Amino acid sequence: MSNVTLTIGGRNFTVSATDGEESHIEMLGRMIDERARRIGAQNQSEPRMLLFAALVMADELHEAHKAAPPPAAEPLPPAGPSPEVLARIDTIAARVEKLAMHLEHVGPAS
């Protein structure tokens, strides 16, 4: 774990980050800072500034979800066994019939 200092709305915030995630956390902090500056929230108290930035980002996410195409439905599997399973069943059935015919000709074991 390491600490990353984010500057949001002219204020510094230190957060912990998993090793290797520091640059990602810094990028997220820059996104929040950009929203806070865009809406002029940096003149608000820290909680209100962060609340307004979070609301703007939540609204953007909501709009992106509405605009995204619905997830592609996976095709339903065919009803019944697959062709491979049916072929295997046919092969087994043919072997059973062959064994049955052999036993009929040989007769019961003594």
The answer to whether residues 13 and 5 touch, using CB atoms and an 8 Å cutoff, is: yes
72, burial (CB in 10 Å: exposed 0-12, middle 13-18, buried 19+):
exposed
Ramachandran sector of residue 10 (left: φ over 0; alpha: ψ -120 to 50; beta: rest): left
Chain center to CA of 60: 20
Instruction: Report d(CA 29, CA 19) in Å as an integer.
Output: 17
Domain ranges of the chain: 2-67
pLDDT along the chain (110 residues), means of 10: 93 93 94 91 86 92 90 76 84 83 66
